[in-house]
Structures are given as C-alpha cells and as structure tokens.
Structure 1
C-alpha cells in the first residue's frame, strides 16, 4: 500500500536542492543571517538551521564557518599565519590596512542599495572609490589590502582590478573570520554602539554608522590591526585551529 502523490508543501524543506542553495548563499556571503536565508528560500527556520548544520557550519566571529576545520584547512591556516608572522617580524614598521579601515582610522564605508547584492563588478566599483579615498587620506602609501575569500573578492575581475591598481593582497586562509580584523574587532564594536537605537530611514542608519566609525579613534583602530600578529601566533601554536576570541 502506498500513498497517492499529493500536491502542496513537501514533508520537509531540507532537500538536497535546498541544501545546495544554502551552501551557495553561505559561500557568497559568510556574514549572511539565518533570516536572510529563510527569506531567499521561503522555508522555515528549523529547516534552514538543519541544512546549515548538515553542511558542517557554525557561527564564529559573526560568520558562518565550518564547524570542524579539516586537516587541509588547518594546514593552510598554519602555513599562511607562519608566513605572515615572518613578514610581520621583518616589516614591523609597515602599516597593514583593510579595504575600509587601517591602523590610522576609518577610510571608506560603502552601502548597498536595497535589494542589491555584492558581486565582483560591484566590489570593483568599491575598490575604485577606495583608491580615490586613499589618494586623499593616505597619499604616497604602498597599499596592502586584507579581505576574506568570498567569491566577489576572489573573482578574476577583482584580482585583475587590484593588479592594475598596483596593490598587494595579504594572505588570508579560508574559513578564517578569527584572522580578519573587521570580523573580530570592528563589527562587534559598531553593533554595540548602535544597539537599542531606532532609525526611521536607511540614510539615518548609514549616517549613524559613519559617525560611529569616525568617533572610534585612532587607538581603537590601531589595536584591531595590531592584534593580527598575536592571532597569527596563536593560530600557529594551535596547529591551524581557530583562535580563541
């Protein structure tokens, strides 16, 4: 005896197809929230949570990362951080910056339009704006940028644009928000500063974020950047495993 085929909602939304879509969404943006995934797929919270867990992911430094790093990932993290430590010790006087801020302070904040998603072409536009901002705020500097391995950052279009600008991209191992200053230092600070406030418009939010970034002060940014060598050291000591917060 078998049930007749029935129309309507399947018994579970945790299908292989949906799991593949969840994986694509996470790979595109490791800062994505569960609520965003729910909206994109049109399925329930429990199903999305189940699929995220089945992909072996967890939240770390506000990013979805692998729950257990593979030995290959650990080897990559250890090798990268060992190389970065050697470079830091050799070039300790140089300032390493990120796309939006460096050890001296806030440089640029870019916001997407409602409904817009970040892709390589959009990211390259941001890099051109960053170049103009750097000419004004950090003239004559050799630019070294640190960004994670999200698809827009790793795309060939992005790599070609950065090469034309003459910038260097700092090594950054996969699945490593604990080695990304914006993840472990900046975003939590901004969230804490804006928590509990109500904003009537998108423009008001953008203004509040920029004001928060400007008020943070040089010492705050300096601490965030110069935590990096400490975290590289810990990563090497832990044989590539995640650094404790």
Structure 2
C-alpha cells in the first residue's frame, strides 16, 4: 500500500504511543551548555532529578498533527478496559477533527504492549473497523513518536516546573 500510493497511505496512517510527562523536567545537557573562554572553568551545576509527580500521556497523531491526547488520572493504571474506552474517545475526536478519515479505514499503528493486544482492546479495534498495522515483536522503539514527537516535546518542556497537571496541559497547548 505504501509503495502503490504514498499519499493514500500517509492520509490514513494514525499512530499511538504513551510517554511519561514529569512535573519537573530538568534541562537537557544540550540546553544547559554555555560558552566559556579557554582560561575559565565551566560553572558547576547541580544535578536535578525528576520529580515524583508525573502523568502518563497517550497521544494519537497522524501526518497532519495531534488528533487526541489523553492524560491518565493519578493512581490509575492503563488496563484493557481503559484502553478500549480511550479508543472510543479517540474515535469521537477523529470524526470531529479528521472527517475524511471517518469515511475510510484507519491504518492504526501501536506497539505490542499487553493493553494494546488484549482481547478487550482488539475487540474494540475490530468494532471500530480500524486496520491494525503489524509492529515487529522485539522493536519496542520503532514507533514514530519515539523519534519525532516525544523528544521534541520533552526538549520544549526541559527546565520547566509544573505544580499541577493543568499547568502541563497548558504548556502542551502552547507547544502544539
């Protein structure tokens, strides 16, 4: 399909992945670099650890941008039932934000996490009539999110502190 019609493929391709967003994100090494003369010593910097407060973000996106983002509530875990309900919310946003995709079969790419491949989630994917693209078994970092979206997003958030999930969402909106 990719070789036959690239535009058709990229117009139907949607990927999903999860990432942790910490409330205190230290600067990346690249961001904290500064010039000093050869006679000067580089200033010492304290090592900043990640904060205990964090939120799991699940992002659905395509070539045109973000379609749906879900933030997992504190003290909750992603289960097959939760992921099934998340797919339903995504489908609602898909019809609203990408009406052309609601008429075509969505090519959904996800990793092989247990919640993605459990019976409840697979039944929901089948019910929504999505075509599931295969993900190689031992290539956990093959998702486009890991190479493009998440590193750039975390670089944007680097060096910032957030007091609540609402502040994280506000900053995310500024980035997107």
Q: Say whether the fold is shared (TM-score over 0.5).
A: yes
Q: Which structure's residues are more often strand, by fraction?
A: 2
TM-score by length of 1: 0.50
1:118 aligns with 2:74: no
Shift of 1:108: 0.8
Q: Which runs of 5+ in 2 are unaligned?
A: 17-59
Shift of 1:114: 0.6
Shift of 1:175: 2.7
Ranges of 4+ aligned residues in structure 1 off by more than 2 Å: none
TM-score by length of 2: 0.68
Larger Rg: 1
Shift of 1:157: 0.6
1:199 aligns with 2:162: yes
Q: Paired residue for 1:101?
A: 61
Distance in 1 between residues matched to 2:91 and 2:134, nearest whole Å: 20
Q: Paired residue for 1:210?
A: 173
Q: Paired residue for 1:75?
A: none
Match of 2:3 among 73, 86, 89: 89
Q: Which runs of 5+ in 1 are unaligned?
A: 1-86, 215-245
Question: CA RMSD of the aligned region, Å?
Answer: 1.3
Distance in 2 between residues matched to 1:187 and 1:130, nearest whole Å: 19
Sort the Cα spacing of 1:156 and 1:91 in 2 relative to 1 into closer, same or farther, 3 A.
farther
Distance in 1 between residues matched to 2:140 and 2:149, nearest whole Å: 12
Sort the Cα spacing of 1:129 and 1:174 in 2 relative to 1 into closer, same or farther, 3 A.
same
